[in-house]
């Protein structure tokens, strides 16, 4: 049997084509199967030894006849299956009998019997190959396991930039990627399910909310228009934790104040600005009817005073200032778990590595220290924004509404300091204004390790 025709066979070309066309119409969907196509290809050829199957054709047989997902199959497993099919396709015991019978029926132009014979032999050959593959599978799994355990994975160093653009909400981003390709969802790594909503027992503290990423404080008084916001400079990298990859030691960040100014018209003296902040803090909001408003305004003032501790004595207006709050970036790994027992291999642990540099941003839009500052007792001079959700909170109930809104933002993953590797919860970092002392923490941890345990 041969893939082509010789000069002696040229006169039979029309007969072969007519026979195959007739068989194709009789076989229906079965004619699209790779093994059946192999039979049709051999009809009319006299030397089966001349028939050559490429690796891509054998892979097609594995995928379409035996439902093998080549993309997620170990490369050693594929190599073994390719060699098996090459060997056992050639050595199928029924080849000579099939070749003689099918050519006899072709000469008789008996299309119906040819169809029945093709179907019978197709099932027989597929069963023969399937038994061979199933017999070798347990041994192959054992060999693959031993190979994986004894393989030393080289660190991955790549200069290539590979990017993916995804539009999603913050909540979706936190669980956007499955740790392993999901076998029940066509092996996707993207999780489009936002997950069930969670019931929160208690609110996030106001101290943490005011230092939450993308929360903006707006103060608007006669002579003063000021904005303050915590911002995260984020970078993302999708990593497979099953592979070793080079981790670059973090470089210390510049924690000095940096200014951006255009058309400067005045100078802001820090002492004058702090005087206004202290006046706001000492103003009683709505007496005792709404203690949360009074407490919230005082917390805002304390946060702003902390921000200005390292600020220059004189600042310009209008101008923007920013300061990196941490000496080293923070990092966390985001993923969604996959609950399934259908994984053929364990080569994946996909995690979205999110690195953050926390910054505080000031915007002096207008400042005139000579203007008498009148502070509204109902807190209307103050607005709090959740920039991420495009929400604004103001009025007498602003802090109660702000806490209720931030129930939606609970459940954030913990952060790791890239320098000392300590694990820090999001709420703790926000309350501490995204600062922690790596050297002090290391000293305390080393001291704990050195304390002898009594009783031994």
- pLDDT score, position 442: 59
- pLDDT score, position 278: 92
- pLDDT score, position 310: 87
Please state, in angstroms and rounded to a whole number, the distance separating the CA atoms of residues 334 and 353: 7
Please state, in angstroms and rounded to a whole number, the distance separating the CA atoms of residues 181 and 349: 9
- pLDDT score, position 288: 46
Please state, in angstroms and rounded to a whole number, the distance separating the CA atoms of residues 307 and 301: 10
Tens-place pLDDT, residues 329-339: 999 999 988 87
Strand-pair partners of 258:
322
Please state, in angstroms and rounded to a whole number, the distance separating the CA atoms of residues 177 and 416: 20
CB 77 within 8 A of CB 140: yes
Please state, in angstroms and rounded to a whole number, the distance separating the CA atoms of residues 159 and 180: 25
- pLDDT score, position 391: 93
Instruction: Fill in the DSSP letter of residue 356.
Output: E
The H or E element containing residue 179 is strand 177-182
Q: Which residues, given as ranges, of the chain have pLDDT below 50? A: 1-17, 46-49, 288, 451-456
SS3 of residue 318 by DSSP: strand
- pLDDT score, position 50: 53
- pLDDT score, position 85: 85
Sign of the torsion formed by the C-alpha atoms of 100, 102, 107 and 113: positive
- pLDDT score, position 73: 74
SS3 of residue 327 by DSSP: coil
Tens-place pLDDT, residues 379-420: 889 999 999 899 999 988 899 999 999 988 888 899 999 998
SS3 of residue 447 by DSSP: helix
Please state, in angstroms and rounded to a whole number, the distance separating the CA atoms of residues 223 and 381: 12
User: Strand 188-190 relative to strand 215-221: parallel, antiparallel, unpaired?
Assistant: unpaired
């Amino acid at each position: 049997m041969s893939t082509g025709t010789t000069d002696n066979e040229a006169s039979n070309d029309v007969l072969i084509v007519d026979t195959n066309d007739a068989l194709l119409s009789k076989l229906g969907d079965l004619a699209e199967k790779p093994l059946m196509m192999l039979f049709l290809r051999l009809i009319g050829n006299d030397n089966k030894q001349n028939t050559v199957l490429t690796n891509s054709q054998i892979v097609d047989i594995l995928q379409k006849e035996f439902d093998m997902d080549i993309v997620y199959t170990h490369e050693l497993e594929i190599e073994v299956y390719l060699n098996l099919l090459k060997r056992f396709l050639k050595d199928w015991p029924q080849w000579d009998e099939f070749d003689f019978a099918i050519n006899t029926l072709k000469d008789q132009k008996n299309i119906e019997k040819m169809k029945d014979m093709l179907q019978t032999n197709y099932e027989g050959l597929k069963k023969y190959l399937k038994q061979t593959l199933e017999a070798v599978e347990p041994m192959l799994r054992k060999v693959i396991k031993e190979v994986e355990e004894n393989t030393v994975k080289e660190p991955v160093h790549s200069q290539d930039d590979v990017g993916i653009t995804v539009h999603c909400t913050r909540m979706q981003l936190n669980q956007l990627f499955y740790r392993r390709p999901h076998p029940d969802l066509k092996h996707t790594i993207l999780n489009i399910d936002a997950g069930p909503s969670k019931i929160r027992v208690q609110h996030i503290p106001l101290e943490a909310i005011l230092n939450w990423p993308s929360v903006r404080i707006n103060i608007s008084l006669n002579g003063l228009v000021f904005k303050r916001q915590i911002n995260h400079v984020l970078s993302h990298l999708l990593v497979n934790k099953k592979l070793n990859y080079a981790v670059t030691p973090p470089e210390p960040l510049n924690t000095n104040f940096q200014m951006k100014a255009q058309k400067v018209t005045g100078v802001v003296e820090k002492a004058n600005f702090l005087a206004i902040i202290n006046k706001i803090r000492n103003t009683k909001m709505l007496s005792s009817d709404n203690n949360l408003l009074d407490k919230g305004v005082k917390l805002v003032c304390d946060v702003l005073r902390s921000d200005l501790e390292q600020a220059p004595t004189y600042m310009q207006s209008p101008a923007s200032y920013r300061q990196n709050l941490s000496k080293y970036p923070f990092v966390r790994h985001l993923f969604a778990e996959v609950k399934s027992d259908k994984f053929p291999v364990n080569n994946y642990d996909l995690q979205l590595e999110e690195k953050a540099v926390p910054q505080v941003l000031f915007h002096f839009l207008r400042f005139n220290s000579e203007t008498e500052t009148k502070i509204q007792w109902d807190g209307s001079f103050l607005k709090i924004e959740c920039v991420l959700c495009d929400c604004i909170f103001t009025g007498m109930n602003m802090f109660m509404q702000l806490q209720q809104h931030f129930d939606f933002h609970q459940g954030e993953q913990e952060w790791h300091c890239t320098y000392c590797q300590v694990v820090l919860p999001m709420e703790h970092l926000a309350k501490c204004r995204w600062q922690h002392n790596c050297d002090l923490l290391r000293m305390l941890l080393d001291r704990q390790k050195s304390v002898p345990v009594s009783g031994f």
